[in-house]
Amino acid sequence: MKLNRTFAVVLRHFYLMRGSPARVLPLFAWVGIDMVLWGFITKYLNAITSAGFDFIPVLLGAVLLWDFFIRVMHGVTMAFLEDVWSRNFLNFFATPLEISEYVTGLVLSSIATSSIGLIVMLVLASAVFGLSFLSYGAVVLPFLLVLFLFGVSLGIIGAGIVLRFGPATEWFIWPIPALVSPFAGVFYPITTLPKWMQVVSRLLPPSYVFENLRAIVSGGAASATALIWAVAFAVVYVFLGCWIFARVYRHTVRTGLIARYSAETVS
């Protein structure tokens, strides 16, 4: 793997961002709106419920972490979709660029864009609504790591779906986080769900993050074993995502789809 090629992929996205407020604004606008909306909801809930339970670290903290996951996933798919929209596949893949270098470039672009969203959320949530990440302790780092890895994996799988089935399928990709959220137990304990949904939840790394987040806020301790499992699961998902993308890429080269991508064939 050559760093200059990966840097080229990142640089392309930097150039696109630098020249386009329409691309920069969504990096923090939607997460900012979410923080404000959920910040006031939690303040209201704190006001009408019995004293002693603070909704801010449970609800606002969960929204912040979930939005971070969404930003990471969308960061990868957005960077990929830029190449779809500008019909750049033939130019990119007829060069020495390796598929691993390309995917790494997408992930690095996503780290940059999702970090901006995370910083904005942290500033808003702590300055306006008094959410302190320090209240979670050092365990917040594995939380972020799990959500980052899972976001990367779903982003790569999403890119693979669009590569395989054509540009119109991007509309399958945007709702993926909404589809995952009921199973991930972002706002409620997994035990609330029916048995079959709980089975699915156990296969999703974010569910371990939110279960542990609730445990900490309720005065308990995070389960190190559960978090190690979550990280391991998330790593497996990343490898699975890369494997799927590489398989799809090989298919597109075999069928010629990559050379005539805009034709939207699903052969």
Partner 1 sequence: MRNVLSVANLSKKYGDTIAVDGISFEIGRREIVGLLGPNGAGKTTTINMILGVLEPTSGSIRIEDIDIAKQRSRALSVTNFAAVYAPLPGNLTVYQNLRVFGLIYGVKQLPERIESLLQQFDLKQFRDTKAGVLSSGEQTRLCLAKAMLNDPHLLLLDEPTASLDPATARDIRTKIRSCATHGFCGVLWTSHNMYEVEEVCDRVLFLSRGRILLEGDPKRLPHEHGKSTLEELFIAVAREPLALERA
- What gap in Å lies between CA 246 and CA 253, rounded to an integer? 11
Is residue 98 involved in binding partner 1 (CB under 8 A)? yes
Is the Cβ of residue 86 or residue 132 nearer to partner 1 in the bound state? Answer: 86
Is residue 263 involved in binding partner 1 (CB under 8 A)? no
Is residue 7 involved in binding partner 1 (CB under 8 A)? yes
Is residue 25 involved in binding partner 1 (CB under 8 A)? no
- What gap in Å lies between CA 106 and CA 144, rounded to an integer? 19
Which of 25, 44, 53, 88 is close enough to bind partner 1 by CB under 8 A?
88
CA 58 to chain CA mean position, Å: 20
Amino acid at 264: E
Is residue 132 involved in binding partner 1 (CB under 8 A)? no
Is residue 86 involved in binding partner 1 (CB under 8 A)? yes
Is residue 266 involved in binding partner 1 (CB under 8 A)? no
State the burial class of residue 239 (Cβ atoms within 10 Å of its Cβ: 0-12, 13-18, 19+). Answer: exposed
Is the Cβ of residue 162 or residue 190 nearer to partner 1 in the bound state? Answer: 162
Taking every pair of Cα atoms in the chain, the longest distance, rounded to a whole number of angstroms, is 64
Count residues binding partner 1 (CB under 8 A): 32
Is residue 84 involved in binding partner 1 (CB under 8 A)? no
At residue 247's C-alpha, the angle toward residues 261 and 11, to 5°, is: 60
Is residue 258 involved in binding partner 1 (CB under 8 A)? yes
